[in-house]
A and B are shown apart, each in its own frame.
Chain A
Amino acid sequence: MGTGLKVLLVAVAATILALGTLLPAAVHAQQEERKPLFVGAWPYQLPPEGHFNTFITGGLTFGIYQQVIEEPLALYLWHNDTYIPWLATSWEISGDYFVVHLRRGVTFHDGTPFTAKDVAGTWLIHYILNHPIYAQGFVDKVEIVDNYTVRFHIKTPSPILIRYILREPVRAYSTYKNFTDRAMEYMNQGLPPTSDQVRQLAAEFRNFRPNRYVGTGPFMWTGEITESEVWFKFYENYWNKDKVKFRWLKLINGETPQVTPHVLAKEVDYATHGFPPATEQQFKELGIRIIRPPIYSGPALYFNMKIWPLNETWFRKAIAYAINKTENGWVSLSESGRPVKYHSALPIELEDIWLTPETKAKLDTYPYDPEKAAQILREHGFTKGGDGYWRYPNGTVVQFELSFPAEYADWSAAAQNVAGQLERFGIKITLRAVTFTQHPIEVQEGRFQLAIRHWGGGANPHPYFHYYAVFMYWNEKEAGVGQGRPGISFPLVQDTKCCGRVDIRELVVSSARGFDVERTKEIVNKLALIYNELLPCVILWQRYGNNPALDGVRVTGWPPDSDPIYKNPPYGDSFVVFMLLTGYGIRPTPENMPATQQQQQQQQQQPAQQPAQQAPGYDVTLIAAVAVVVVIAIAAGVILARRKK
């Protein structure tokens, strides 16, 4: 090798070594500054893709963490169905109006006071964007009564509107006033959001880019954002200052694959991403706790009822008996995939609230009973061939294609397991993976035979959403919603053994109406019986989160698994946001306190041991040995090569 080349190589090596020594110093320096710190994770887009208009796509809302920046009127607890007054101190239904009374003494991050204008303003922007409370006809007008009172004119009573209004983050009037004032005019003129003038305003609004991001919450925008992470700092004049235990909030960007290494490095205190079982196992072995709040939905097997025998109730029931749903849940998501008991289309936790014991007694729990399934098929003339596959009365082999979204790890596992189990039972299944943006379209347009899609309405406590999911969501034509696409083609007017002739659509829609809880309960119980009898889909299992919660590094005090706060779903009424805002549960570890406080505590007690960093327990020694051998071999080769000259 030429001398020049040798010199170059040495120079490069020296530079790399020099840089390497700089690293530990740089890392250490950054870690010392900001305490107490809480680290979460949420995917976002870097500006200019991401921006401050938090009403539209691309807005830097950071999902659940928006509510520690832009606070809502109230918080909600699922376990006892209560709202906690937050920016609103009280509310009531008064005649045709829903009236909200606001808290005094609250200021925004820029110092301006929080008043009724901000709440009304938020809902005026939603008017421009045709939010469900307007689109579904619950509310048609927002009015400011005085500086601390707002009222909404109710067009169609429903408890759903209360939840929408109380849980919505309040934006600053000062940011959006250019649009709220004009919207107020249109609203007072009685123009619906679908009118041309309002749509014109919406067209303008989506190009609106505020140059500031202010809210009333404890954490405020710092401007420190990269594609990797974003920082928030504590708002010194926060109205509920004494309750908040953390002073810095850092959010890591990324989807599951990007966030996993950070969790493994114990750099993240809490994440809501759906981690697959293998990753979760590694977390557990590192001593990271896994919290499993209910997601209130899960995968279900849907049938294209334009195809015989998928349109026969007895066939669908046979399939339900033929699948071991406990196994399916375990294979897909380990402990976070739990089988349901009552098959009422309601999530397990809501069943106790809404279903009466009489109803529960009448529900079929569809246990794993392949014998029963086989019996049903035989009763209808099916026979099992010598190759193990069932045959129709006319002799052809029973086979179907099962499609599922390719990228959803848990559903893809569920689909494969269902296919394996049905094959074992004697039905031939071909699998088809479709990319996740395309799969819903295929199902809606009826281009499937069997498909895995969701049941359950997610983070919505009201049963309406859960029954909408199984009866109407994938059934547009029959339900008269959406684009009228065929979907599962499940007829919604049917004769039932439990309840006579029913109009399911009517029942589902009316379950959302009115404030009479008893009446709603009646309807819900009826829907449960109808679902259980007609089985438009077979519920496989209910999904629970597998949120890693790191205890002992920066944060400690996570409540035990039995705490009722964990009935709150991670994506809707996040318990972590609840705890950050109210000071319940989690608090900083002694190491996570600023230096002065640390010294004080050190004088009083022994500092807690920091858990040692661990990498996944691969055979590190083996791989290290291999690496060393490879390096030596290359080096030897190079030396030998030079010697040959």
Chain B
Amino acid sequence: MALTKVLKRIFRTFVAEPLKIIAGSKAGLAGFIGLLLYVTMATIGPYFVPLDTRPKPEKRYLPPSWEHPLGTDFEGKDIFSQIVNGSRDVLFVAFLAGTLTVLIATLLGSIAGFKGGLWDSIIMAVDELLLTIPQFPLLSVLAALVRLNNITLAAVIGALSWPALARAVRSQVLSLKERDFIEAARALDLGTWHIVMVEIMPNLMPYIVVSWIFSMTSAIYSQVGLVFLGFVPFTSHNWGVMINQAWTWGAIYYKTSVWYIISPILAITGFQLSAILFARSLENVFNPRLRG
């Protein structure tokens, strides 16, 4: 049937082919597996590793052991369980904020660059306004007005992060739009949407992917500072809260307490490393010319 054929084709282009390409690069595969682990930890991890909530002062700041793979915190609670239970909220906000940032930035940057003229002026004016508005005062005013949850937090982070990326995208588009193949497309009257999405975007893909990864990491770290504003729900397993607290409590200065600050950072670093390695495969997927 035609439907089965279409489904088979979708499966082939979007699942089978990419998987083959990913498996082709060892680093990309490693990254892919890493990300899979994080997703697993975020979704079903908490069921296997329940959160340790009881204060046990005598077990404070223990070094890593079989019982406590990442040691214990200031109250003797297991750090590993906190990391696992915190991953869901943290990664969710990171993913949402990072994606929002990249979507808005790419869209607005491309339109500004490609269309030029009034579109460019207006979009860039808004861009520069958001870029230069003092963020901390703005956030503290917002904190007093809005009681936040994950989604609004991600929206706020996304709304404040897109301007810088948009300008970078715009500059690339400015360069690309004078190329022959774009001129050809314009001559063929293919329409703005088509030109932007089909001709221009794939060329920007590697840069956008890397920017997306950095946006996600930066979203996680911005939560550390936002704790002071009461923006972040103050739960002990939120990685940003953990870093904030470990920092305030000087955990970095003592050899066993240092795990309290290293653990969330290791988790974040591992996430970024996996994503960067995986991006290598994504480059192959998006830009066939590089596959050789």
Contact = CB atoms under 8 A, between A and B. Distances in A.
Interface string A434-448: 110000000000000
A330 B227 contact: no
Contact of A278 (B53, B54, B57, B253): B253
A433 B250 contact: no
A276 B255 contact: no
Interface string B239-257: 0000011011111111101
A421 B75 CA distance: 11
A412 B75 contact: no
Interface in A404-433: 406-407, 409, 412-413, 416-417, 420-421, 423-424, 431-433
Closest 3 CB pairs of A and B: A279-B250, A278-B257, A276-B250
Contacts of A330: 57
A429 to B, nearest CB: 11
A277 B249 contact: yes
Interface in A279-294: 279, 281-282
Nearest to A424: B54
Given A412-B245, A413-B74, A416-B236, A331 B57 contact: yes
A330 B59 CA distance: 12
Given A432-B234, A433-B227, A616-B255, A409 B75 contact: no
A279 B254 contact: yes
Contacts of A278: 61, 74, 249-254, 257
A162 interface: no
A389 to B, nearest CB: 14
Interface in B42-60: 53-55, 57, 60
B248 A412 contact: yes
B81 to A, nearest CB: 14
B160 interface: no
Given A278-B253, A327-B57, A331-B74, 15 more contacts: A256-B250, A257-B250, A260-B250, A276-B248, A276-B250, A277-B250, A278-B74, A278-B257, A279-B250, A282-B253, A331-B57, A406-B228, A433-B227, A433-B228, A433-B234
Contact of A331 (B55, B140, B227, B258): B55
Contacts of B247: 257
A431 to B, nearest CB: 4
Contacts of A331: 55, 57, 60, 74-75
A264 B227 CA distance: 28
A327 B60 CA distance: 12
Contacts of B258: 618
Interface in A604-632: 616-619
15 contacts: A260-B250, A281-B254, A331-B57, A406-B228, A406-B244, A407-B248, A412-B248, A416-B236, A420-B53, A432-B230, A433-B227, A433-B228, A434-B230, A617-B255, A619-B255
A433 B254 contact: no
A275 interface: yes
Nearest to A332: B74
A276 B250 CA distance: 6
A420 B55 contact: yes
B209 interface: no
Nearest to A275: B250
Contacts of B249: 276-278, 409, 413
Contact of B75 (A279, A417, A431): A417
A277 B74 contact: yes
Interface in B248-286: 248-255, 257-258
Interface of A: 256-257, 260, 264, 275-279, 281-282, 327, 330-331, 406-407, 409, 412-413, 416-417, 420-421, 423-424, 431-435, 616-619
A423 B53 CA distance: 9
A163 B46 CA distance: 59
B229 interface: yes
Nearest to A617: B255
Contacts of B253: 260, 264, 278-279, 282, 616
A391 B55 CA distance: 24
Interface of B: 53-55, 57, 60-61, 74-75, 140, 227-230, 234-236, 244-245, 247-255, 257-258
Nearest to B58: A330
A451 B248 CA distance: 20
A432 B144 CA distance: 13
B161 to A, nearest CB: 22
Contacts of A281: 61, 254, 257
Of A281, A327, A434, A618, chain B has the most CB atoms within 10 Å of the CB of A281
B276 to A, nearest CB: 16
B136 to A, nearest CB: 10
Give the interface SS of chain A, mostly helix, strand, loop or mixed.
helix
Nearest to A256: B250
Contacts of A406: 227-228, 230, 244, 248
Contacts of B245: 412
Contacts of B257: 278, 281
B262 to A, nearest CB: 11
Contacts of A279: 250, 253-254
Of A416, A423, A617, chain B has the most CB atoms within 10 Å of the CB of A416
B269 to A, nearest CB: 14
Contact of A417 (B55, B227, B248): B55
Contacts of A433: 227-228, 230, 234
B54 A409 contact: no
B78 to A, nearest CB: 14
Contacts of B248: 276, 406-407, 409, 412
Contact of B230 (A260, A264, A435): A435
A420 B57 CA distance: 12
A256 B255 CA distance: 18
A174 B45 CA distance: 72
Contact of B54 (A276, A420, A432, A618): A420
A421 B57 CA distance: 12
Of B61, B244, B254, B255, chain A has the most CB atoms within 10 Å of the CB of B254
A275 B230 CA distance: 24
A276 B227 CA distance: 19
Contact of A282 (B74, B75, B234, B254): B254
A619 B75 CA distance: 24
Contacts of B230: 406, 432-435
B257 to A, nearest CB: 4
A327 B257 CA distance: 19
B254 to A, nearest CB: 4
A420 B257 CA distance: 20
Contacts of A276: 248-251
B228 A407 contact: yes
A446 B62 CA distance: 40
Contacts of B57: 327, 330-331
A564 B138 CA distance: 51
A331 B58 CA distance: 9
B75 A616 contact: no
B228 A435 contact: yes
A393 B241 CA distance: 36
A406 B57 CA distance: 21
Contact of A431 (B54, B55, B234, B244): B234
Contacts of A412: 245, 248
B55 A616 contact: no
A617 B248 CA distance: 21
B255 A618 contact: yes
Nearest to A436: B228
Contacts of B254: 278-279, 281-282, 616
Nearest to B229: A435
B153 to A, nearest CB: 15
Contacts of A434: 230
Nearest to B76: A331
A240 B274 CA distance: 68
Contacts of A617: 255
Nearest to A405: B228
Contacts of A619: 255
